Amino acid sequence: MLRSPSICGGSKMGALSLSGSLAHATFLSVYGKDEQQRRLAAEFVEYILQRAREEGEDVYRKALEVVEEGRSRGSLRLEGFEKGVDGRLVRIIGGGAEFDEGKGGKKLLRMKITAEVDGTRREYAITYGRYGRNNAAKSFAYASAEADAERLAAVVETLTGVKPKIRRRSDGIIELVCSREHLEVFKRFAELTDAIEKWLEETGR
C-alpha cells in the first residue's frame, strides 16, 4: 500500500524516509496490475521526486537512485538466465518463491531455483529468516559435499553477482550464508520480487 503524500512533509530528509515506498511505487508504475494502479503509482513517484528536488541536489540524487532500483525490480526472468562464474557455466531453468513456517512460528521465505551447473541439473533451496537482535534477513544453506556447495554458490553468484559466505563447520558440514544484500538483488527477478517484498514487509519490525 502506498502512503499518502500528505505525510511526506516535514524534515529535510522526509522524502528519503519513504525510500521503500518510493521503490515499490516505481515498480508498480511499470508492472502494476492495471492502468489505474500504474497511473496512481506514477503520480506518487512524481510527487516524491518533486519534493526531493525542492530539498536539494543530494536528496534528489538519492531519490533518483531509489527510483532506478525500483525500476530494476522484476525486470529479469529466471528462466533462460545464464552466466559464466569462475569457469563454470550456470543456466537457470526456472524457479519461484513461497512462504514456510520455522521454529516458533516464524515466517520463512523459501526460494527454489532449478539450475544446471556444468551439466548437472538440480533444484536448490535458498531459505531466508529473521535472526538476531537487529532482525537481520539471512539465509543458511548446507551441503555435505564440497562440489554441491560450490554449485550452489555459483548459482547465487550468477543471480546476484555476490558470492555467499562459505565455511566448513567442525562436523564437516559446509554452510553457505546469504545476506540482505543478496536478497535485494534477487528482487530483480519477476518470479521472486512480489514474495520478497511481502516477506520483508510482514517480518520487519
| pLDDT for residue 11 | 45
Tracing cell 516464524 back to the chain, one arrives at 106
Average pLDDT, rounded, for the chain: 84
The model's pLDDT over 10-37, given as tens digits with 9 standing for 90+, comes to 444 344 445 567 776 776 776 666 788 7
pLDDT > 80? residue 110:
yes
| pLDDT for residue 111 | 96
Using CA atoms, how far apart are residues 27 and 175, in angstroms rounded to an integer? 34
pLDDT > 50? residue 72:
yes
Using CA atoms, how far apart are residues 98 and 70, in angstroms rounded to an integer? 22
pLDDT > 80? residue 43:
yes
| pLDDT for residue 55 | 87
Using CA atoms, how far apart are residues 190 and 176, in angstroms rounded to an integer? 24
| Lowest-confidence region among 4-13, 65-74, 120-129 | 4-13
Average pLDDT for residues 114-142, to the nearest whole number?
A: 94
- What is the share, in percent, of the chain residues with pLDDT greater than 90? 52
| Lowest-confidence region among 13-17, 23-27, 98-102, 119-123 | 13-17
What torsion, rounded to 10 degrees, do the Cα atoms 5, 6, 10, 16 define? -10
Cα dist. 194→84, 101, 122, 143, 181 in Å? 27, 18, 24, 28, 17
Using CA atoms, how far apart are residues 195 and 108, in angstroms rounded to an integer? 11
The three-point CA angle 80-32-95 to 5° equals 25
Cβ neighbours of 113 (radius 10 Å): 26
Evaluate whether 177 touches 164 at the Cβ level (below 8 Å).
yes
Whole-prediction pTM: 0.68
pLDDT > 80? residue 118:
yes
Contacts with 68 (C-beta within 8 Å, 6 or more apart), sequence order: none
The model's pLDDT over 174-205, given as tens digits with 9 standing for 90+, comes to 999 999 989 988 988 989 988 998 999 899 87
Q: Please state the separation of Cα 189 from the chain's center in Å.
A: 8
